Structure 1
Amino acid sequence: MSKGKFIVVEGMEGAGKSSAIHVIEALLQQHHIEYINTREPGGTPLAETLRTLIKATDHQETITQETELLLMYASRSQLLANRILPALNQGQWVIGDRHDLSSRAYQGGGREFDDEVMESISRVTLQGFKPDLTLYLDLDPEIGLSRAKARGELDRIEQEKIDFFHRVRNKYQDLASKDSTIVTINAEQSMELVHQDIINTVQQFITKQG
């Protein structure tokens, strides 16, 4: 049995990750590829509890940036060990709604943690594991946040100031430019064009798998 592949969809609030994932699901179904979905933070019972702690706005104390960072990686560790790796080893593909790149962008870029700190925590937690393909949906933070606000109430991180999100985007773009497994999709295009870019990218990736 061949090992499965891990495809991740990344991007800021309002980038259209959910609809992108639906597009990928449809394509995998067309190719009769068995898959599961995950999301981060979350994806296992314990990881979902950590997600609630990270995103809640009603804490009686301030969540420090260090706590946020460590909770993100604790959640990711649980998900990797209990869902992602078992599925891949069984030959299933995994579609991830966010992964390590999110922490590099939000905590590394937005919170301005040093690259060496981010690399050290990632190395301990993931031990070199990384997605086979990442689709980064890029758009202006102000456009994304306006879309997110239209969806409903913003979570704790989504309520950060706009400068935070500009740092996040800059880090996303910087990391994507240095990694050939990350494909940047212009999420400011029409939905039809965004979806076509996703289909083209994932179809090419599937074809390469033979």
Structure 2
Amino acid sequence: MRPSSSTRVEISPSTQNLVRIIPGPAGIVQAAKLLKQRDILLGLDGVVMSTQEYMKKVIEDVGEDEDFKSGSWVSAIDYVNANGGTASGCLGDIKNFLKNGKLDQVVAIVKSYSLNVTGDLTVTMKDLSGIIHGTIHHKFIVEGGYGKDIFIGAALILANVSVFSLKPSMHYLNITMRNVVKVFRKDTIPGSGSG
């Protein structure tokens, strides 16, 4: 029996997010296919686009993330570009960026932090490709003078960062003073040169 044209299909918010999105570039293709499947399920056949068009939409939607519009993020990207570099997301696809257990460059936003028993900060960081956990050594905070700058929303540019891999799919950053290139506070205004 075919449903009548007045039958509505609704996707429940509680079941909509049951699919685990693959980190990194493969996640863009996966998200595009999920959007396309959703539109087909909803009977929006007239507006269904090619998979490539859905991929463009997913990439544009990443630009809607408020973290990547913040002054700290924009300033960090401007700094990297001004110094001849490029900021490519590596946290969601570490295996392809890892060299001798280290990442050459990380440009990321602090999403959460807490002080642990040794005085180090346990952090969650995010870039365009994914999220990772890590530890910021206490000397970075105290001796480096960055304690007043590390809050949720701060953007960090790091170099030569050690990565510990507890499992093939579970990675952890170890951030020390030697890794710091620049820190942009959450309240940084793009183009102000401060950070």
TM-score, length-scaled by structure 1: 0.25
1 or 2, which has the higher strand percentage? 2
| Rg larger for | 2
- Which structure's residues are more often helix, by fraction? 1
Between 1 and 2, higher relative CO (CA 8 Å, sep ≥ 6) is seen in 1
Q: Give me the TM-score of the superposition, normalised by structure 2.
A: 0.27
